Chain A
Amino acid sequence: MAKARVHVTLKRGVLDPQGKAVQNALARLGFTGVDSVRQGKYLEIELAEREPEAARAAAAEMCRQLLANTVIEDFTIDVGD
């Protein structure tokens, strides 16, 4: 069994008003030096597939078809146990 850890984030250049609101809230709490916050989604997917590259390919296809909207979002995949 392999576990795919998928991060889905807005593409660079796409405005992220939620990230901006979080950044402003951090500033209000006194955290200085926060240059930018980008908010995204994190999914853990347990796969029957054991072979890492096959698991990664399967997760990538899931991202393209459903997990990410590639018009506005990028995704990254880490495969481990």
Chain B
Amino acid sequence: MKAAVIVFPGSNCDRDVAVALEQVTGSPATMVWHAETDLDGFDLIVVPGGFSYGDYLRCGAMAAHSPIMRALVARAEAGTLVLGICNGFQILAEAGLLPGALMRNADLHFICKDVTLRVETQASPFTRDYRPRQVIRLPIAHNEGNYFADGHVLERLIAEDRVAFRYCSATGDIDDAANPNGSMRNIAGILNERRNVLGLMPHPERMADAALGGTDGRAIFTGILAALT
């Protein structure tokens, strides 16, 4: 499996996700600077977390127009797997690869803590290795993770089984108390129509090794590997 990790000025989770990928796949990921224009030959493209372009204008807005994004959009439309984590999710939304927007957290605080999530669908390369409705624990670390979409977009996401993860209680209940940032319907991650693009605010790469405090994020990477082999 050949994986690319896009590096923008201000990315800071690029190496973490490369380590997690290599642990699972056994082969090193290729770090691709945002000024590059070619992504041919990769099976997976990761848009990592961080603060690309210092979050100028809006989170992800500048990165969404980086030179590499034209190639990324073309590869996504051709079916290559694309994983956007945290700022990567914001970038994919700004680029129009995923619907909706990530707004300022409802309580205006930067939130850095572990949250519990319910896996809402197994029908994607990213979530196939989780059990149905499995409750997992992953860290979030963001200021703008408050998912917003128009009503008809939300209804479509739900009708098409494209909500991948929702914030939940420790027992798997979806309620306001378990919603850290005000996201509509507790949405933490969504898939595109073709199900080859996933964006999520939590950080699976930070929970992919027992030494880091947990392994609940690992199944995303094992699922991708299984889907590609």
Q: A-side interface residues toward B, CB under 8 Å?
A: 14-15, 17-18, 21, 41, 65-67, 69, 71-72
Contact = CB atoms under 8 A, between A and B. Distances in A.
Contact of B103 (A41, A67, A72): A72
Interface range on chain B: under 10, 10 to 19, 20 to 34, or 35 or more?
A: 10 to 19
B182 interface: yes
Contacts, number: 34
Contacts of B105: 17
A38 to B, nearest CB: 13
Contacts of B61: 66, 69
Given A66-B61, A67-B57, A72 B148 contact: yes
B214 interface: no
Contact of A71 (B57, B101, B104): B101
Contact of B57 (A17, A18, A66): A66
- B contact face: mostly helix, strand, loop, or mixed: loop
A66 B62 CA distance: 8
A65 B108 CA distance: 27
Contacts of B149: 71
7 contacts: A15-B182, A17-B104, A17-B107, A69-B101, A71-B93, A71-B99, A71-B100
Given A66-B65, A69-B101, A71-B148, A15 B106 contact: yes
B94 interface: yes
A17 B57 CA distance: 18
A18 B150 contact: no
B14 to A, nearest CB: 24
